[in-house]
Each structure stands twice: as C-alpha cells, then as structure tokens.
C-alpha cells in the first residue's frame, strides 16, 4: 500500500514538474518573441552619431536690419511614418546613448494603463511599452513629462535606469534624446531618486510654480543610498523636465531618473 502511495505521489509531482517546465519554456519563448519587435525597431532606427549641442556665438548687432534666414529643416533620424503603420499611437522616440534605452514612446488617451502590459504591437504581457499618460501632452511642452517603463531584469526597457544610482555612471551617460516627427529635444540628467509611489502628475500641479518647486525640493530631500542629485546642474521652475519612472521592487516606491531640457531643434 505504501509503495503504491509513493508511486502515485511520484507521478503527481512529475506531472506538476513537467507542467511547470512547459509553462516556463512557453513564457520564455513568448517573452523573447515580444522583445524581438523592439530589437528590430532599434536596428532599423540605428544612428551612429547623436546631435551635438552647440552654443551659438553671440553676434554684434548690425546697423542695417538683415532679413532672417529661413530655419533649416530638422533632420529627424526616426522613420515615424513607418512606425505609425505598425501603431498610430507611437508619437515619439527616446534614446540614451550607451544604454539599453532606445525605444518608441506611445500614449493611449482613452486607457492610460493599456501600455503597462501591452507591447506596441498590442501583445498582452511583459515587457509592455515605454509610454506616457494623457495627463501629458505629446509635444513635450509640459513642465514635467512623466515617462513610464518596466524595470526588466535583463536591463531592457527601463531596467538599465538603476545604473544611475552611481554618480559616475550618470556623468558618463548624462544626455537623453527625444525625437518627435518635428523636433529633437536634448535633456541633461540631473538626478536619480528612489521615490515614493504617489502619482506625480496628480500630486503636483506643475503649472503652479510653487508646486513645481515643491516637487524639485522633494527630490533633493530624499535621503537614501539609492539616490543622487547633481547639484552642479541648476534646475528651476522656468525649466522643462522629463521624469523617467520605473518600479523598484517595492510597491511603495518608484525609481525616478530626472532630466532637464537643454536644447530643442
């Protein structure tokens, strides 16, 4: 009797083990397939050199008024027309040279949480997408644009943001480029903060200087080993910033990387 019981238990555990193994293989292959679309997009939109931010030399005023030359068209290195054939909700692209961050940005105004667990192709599940919510406009004119992405263990999506806990890494990977069909925005990273889980765009009205300043102050007031603010980069309520937000392995916390706009073309 005891032998039969052990035999039954063996087969039960074996079936459970095989089912778990099969599910793990299915999950892994499904995950890989979902991530392949982002790898292909990166390859198709690869650019060897980033735009160099140059300060225009100051010119002495001419006695005679000169006719202003027409501004040169901005060379956007992203094929948005092709991207929008795949998904018309792709409206921007974010790139941080030297990191894994090199992705399209999407927004679905009627469902802010949709891209939390859907890829840009509409596949449900991780890794989701890099996205913003409808509280932010799509032209990056808001005082603070909050961009969300998952903290993937393989450093894809916003998984590599955790490296900004190291001030030396921040100095070496300090510039963020955001492309839209009309503009190139260049940002300088000034902080990485382990923050609480409040909804930033709801908790602060960035159109009010007092509340905007309260947010900037709250970043500086965080005191833990996993946070760093570069005080050599001045940021005021006159500036426009982006907040890259990802999970931190704790439901009560978010990890934020902050960058200030330094150039717009």
The mean predicted confidence, pLDDT, of the chain is 84
Given a cut of 90, whether residue 128 has pLDDT beyond it is yes
CA atoms within 13 A on the CB side of 260: 15
If you average pLDDT over residues 13-28, what whole number do you get?
A: 48
Q: How big, in percent rounded to 5, are the helix, strand and coil portions of the chain?
A: 30, 25, 45
Q: What is the structure's pLDDT at 28? A: 47
If you average pLDDT over residues 109-117, what whole number do you get?
A: 96
Interstrand relation of 130-131 and 228-229 (parallel, antiparallel or unpaired): unpaired
Q: What is the structure's pLDDT at 214? A: 98
Q: How far is CA 153 from the centre of its chain?
A: 15
pTM for the complete prediction? Answer: 0.80
If you average pLDDT over residues 41-63, what whole number do you get?
A: 55
Residue ranges of the alpha helices (H) in the chain? 2-44, 80-86, 167-172, 200-203, 209-221
CA atoms within 13 A on the CB side of 132: 25
Q: What is the structure's pLDDT at 251? A: 80
Q: What is the percentage of the chain residues whose pLDDT exceeds 70?
A: 74
Which residues are within 8 A (CB) of 265 and not within 5 positions of it... i.e. 6 or more apart? 51, 74, 183, 184
Model confidence band, residue 191 (pLDDT cutoffs 50, 70, 90): very high
Given a cut of 90, whether residue 30 has pLDDT beyond it is no
Q: What is the structure's pLDDT at 5? A: 57
**pLDDT top residue among 105 and 34:** 105
Model confidence band, residue 26 (pLDDT cutoffs 50, 70, 90): very low
Model confidence band, residue 36 (pLDDT cutoffs 50, 70, 90): low
Q: What is the structure's pLDDT at 32? A: 55
Is the peptide bond preceding residue 127 cis, with omega within 30 degrees of 0? Answer: yes
Task: Report phi then psi at 200, rounded to 5.
Answer: -60, -45
Given a cut of 50, whether residue 95 has pLDDT beyond it is yes
Q: Round to whole Å and give the CA distance between 94 and 179.
A: 7
Q: What is the structure's pLDDT at 222? A: 87
């Amino acid at each position: 009797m005891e032998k039969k019981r052990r035999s039954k238990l063996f087969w039960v555990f074996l079936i459970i083990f095989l089912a778990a193994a099969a599910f793990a293989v299915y999950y892994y292959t499904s995950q890989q397939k979902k991530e392949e679309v982002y790898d292909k997009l990166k390859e198709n939109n690869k650019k060897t050199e980033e735009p160099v931010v140059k300060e225009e030399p100051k010119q002495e005023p001419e006695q005679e008024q000169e006719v202003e030359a027409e501004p040169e068209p901005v060379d956007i290195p992203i094929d948005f027309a092709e991207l929008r054939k795949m998904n018309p909700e792709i409206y921007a692209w974010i790139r941080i040279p030297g990191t894994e961050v090199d992705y399209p940005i999407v927004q679905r105004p009627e469902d802010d949480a949709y891209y939390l667990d859907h890829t840009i192709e509409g596949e449900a599940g991780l890794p989701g997408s890099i996205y913003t919510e409808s509280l932010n406009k799509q032209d990056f004119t808001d005082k603070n644009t909050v961009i969300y992405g998952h903290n993937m263990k393989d450093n894809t999506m916003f998984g590599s943001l955790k490296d900004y806990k190291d001030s030396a890494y921040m100095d070496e990977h300090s510039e963020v480029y955001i492309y839209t069909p009309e503009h190139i925005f260049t940002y300088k990273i000034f902080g990485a903060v382990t923050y609480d889980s409040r909804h930033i765009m709801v908790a602060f009205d960035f159109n009010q200087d007092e509340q905007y300043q309260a947010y900037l102050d709250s970043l500086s007031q965080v005191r833990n080993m996993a946070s760093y603010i570069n005080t050599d980069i001045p940021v005021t309520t006159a500036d426009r910033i982006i907040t890259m937000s990802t999970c931190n392995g704790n439901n009560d916390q978010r990890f934020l990387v902050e960058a200030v706009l330094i150039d717009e073309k």
